[in-house]
Every structure is written in C-alpha cells, then in structure tokens.
Amino acid sequence: MDNTSTYLFNFKGYNFERSLVKMEIIENVDNFEIRNDDVFIITYPKSGTIWTQQILSLIYFEGHRNRTENIQTVDRAPFFEYNLHDLDFIKMPSPRIFASHLPYYLVPKGLKNKKAKILYIYRNPKDILTSFFHFSNLMVLFEASDSIENFMEKFLEGKVLGSLWFDHIRGWYEHRHDFNILFMSYEDMKKDLRGSVLKICHFLEKDLSAEDVDAVVKQAAFQNMKSDSRANYEDIIQNEIGTRNSEGKFLRKGTIGDWKNHFTVEQSERFDRIFLKNMKDIPLKFVWDMNED
C-alpha cells in the first residue's frame, strides 16, 4: 500500500490512522521500557477496545469503581500508539494500562519478558465490519463508504486502519507463546459479563470483593457506559476528533449479530467462504448470533 492516502499511514506493513498516530511512539517502540506490571489491551479496531478499557480501569482504580474520581477512562487506560491526550507514559504511575491495535510484530519488545500482561479481545469479523463501516462514515478522519459492499472490499483487502483482520488475529494467535496473553471474545463478554470480569481479574491477579465485582459489571454494561460521559468517548469524538454527523455515537448497538441487518445473503456467504479459507487452522471460537451458545 502506498503512503499517499489522506486517512491511512502505512508503517512497516501496517496501517495507522494518519493524523492521530504518534510517530515518536511507533518509531521508538523497541526502546519503550516495559514494566512487569504493565497491562496491554490489544484489539483489532471495533472489537471491544473501549469496553475493555472501562473494565480494566474499574478493576484497577477504586476511585473509578466507587465514583469518587471524575477522570475520563481514556486518561486512565490510554491508547498507546494514539496517545490522544499526550500523556507522559514514562511518568505514569504503575500499574499502567494501555490499549493498542498494534500487530504482534510492532509492540514493545519488553512484552516478551512474559511478565507484563496482554489481554487480546477478539470479535466475530462480520460485526467488526458492520461497526467499522458505521464508525468510518461517522468520523471525519476516516474514509467514508457509500455501502457495505464498498467497505467490505476495503476490509477484505486490508485497506483500513488495522490492516487485514485475518493477519492481525493470526499473528497474535500464532505468536501467543511469546507473550503472557489471554484471549477473550467480545461475545463471551456480552453473554456473561460477570464471568468475564472474574476471568480477567484472575488473569490480572486482582482479588476484588463480590461487591466490587458487581460495581465493575454495573458500570461496564452497555447502557451505563453509553450514558457515562467519562466512558462513552462523546467528547473526544465530537470535540477533539470531529464527526460528520453530530447524532452518531461511539457506543452504537453493542450487540452480537447486527451484521444480519446489513449483509445480503450473498455477501454473508462470500464472507463465510473467505473466513473458512483463512481461519480453518485457528481454533478460536467465534459466535455470530446472540442466541448461539
């Protein structure tokens, strides 16, 4: 891919959003010092990033859980390569929580010490595509598409932020033994949020009381996040980044299977064929429908 796109910037074979990416971070990523108690949330875009930022922030910060502090989630668990508020990561107190869309080969090498933790959240790619289509049409910094068909073409060619979904998930899955990593799905979180929070706590070695777990689950539920200005990115997308439509929301549907409202049968079957061809040797479980087990 050439580097002339208004929206995308390709660095080492991976597409970043051109005007948001912090070059000083990605150019010096190898030297970024990792602490043993760092936690990275890694996702392909639209897979549940800000949801997981919210969950981890609630788990780690008592002042968030009990609502005594009024801090935006993005300032507690910032994006790594898109450091939106230019936080000083070196001065950030431990434990640091980062969110990132980076592929496995571009993350700080220190993550291979296997002490720092990575939570990889994945989602069925038909819902990712649907969410991404709406998000790209909403945000001024993303290229709009006039139809799902046109967006699907870009998505399947990897001509989007995050590059090709198949490469992202395969890369992380095949290199999982190099990292201290837990794979979790958006759909598991949606179907059993409490169970997922407990699983995350176990992985992070955080022992919360049942009451605290309840507080995390309550404040990470879709409707609560949607109406919580610290969590819903409203300010950031409307005032800091810019939208084409002031009605559009970052927290849109928050469900499993919305793709069925957007894909034709032919598009769905075509996507299934490509999915099967690319994913047959990856044993991760995918859920495509709210009623599926």
Q: Residue 38 or residue 53: which is nearer to ligand PPS going by CB? A: 53
Residue 48 as a binder of ligand PPS (CB under 6 A): the answer is: yes
- What is the C-alpha separation between 144 and 136, in angstroms, rounded? 5
For the question of residue 262 being annotated catalytic, the response is no
CA angle 46, 51, 57 (to 5 degrees): 140
Q: Give me the numbers of helices (H) and strands (E) for the chain, helices first please.
A: 13, 6
Task: Give the x-and-dash track for 133-172 against ligand PPS (CB under 6 A).
Answer: -x--------------------------------------
Exactly one of 43, 73, 100, 124 binds ligand PPS (CB under 6 A); which one? 43
Amino acid identity, position 90? I
Residue 252 as a binder of ligand PPS (CB under 6 A): the answer is: yes
Q: Residue 116 or residue 193: which is nearer to ligand PPS going by CB? A: 193
Number of residues interacting with ligand PPS: please give it, by CB under 6 A. 20
User: What's the DSSP call for residue 32?
Assistant: P
Residue 169 is encoded by which pair of tokens? 């998930």
Backbone angles phi, psi at 264, to 5 degrees: -80, 165
- What is the C-alpha separation between 208 and 188, in angstroms, rounded? 20
DSSP sequence for 227-257? T-TTTS-HHIIIIII-BS-TT--SS----S-
From 64, 101, 168, 262, active-site residue: 101
- What is the C-alpha separation between 86 and 78, in angstroms, rounded? 9
Binding window for ligand PPS (CB under 6 A); candidates: 15-23, 63-71, 166-174, 246-254: 246-254
CB of 22 to ligand PPS, least distance (A): 16
CB of 139 to ligand PPS, least distance (A): 9
Residue 73 as a binder of ligand PPS (CB under 6 A): the answer is: no
Residues that bind ligand PPS (CB under 6 A): 43, 45-51, 127, 131, 134, 190, 220, 222, 225, 251-254, 258
Catalytic residue positions? 101
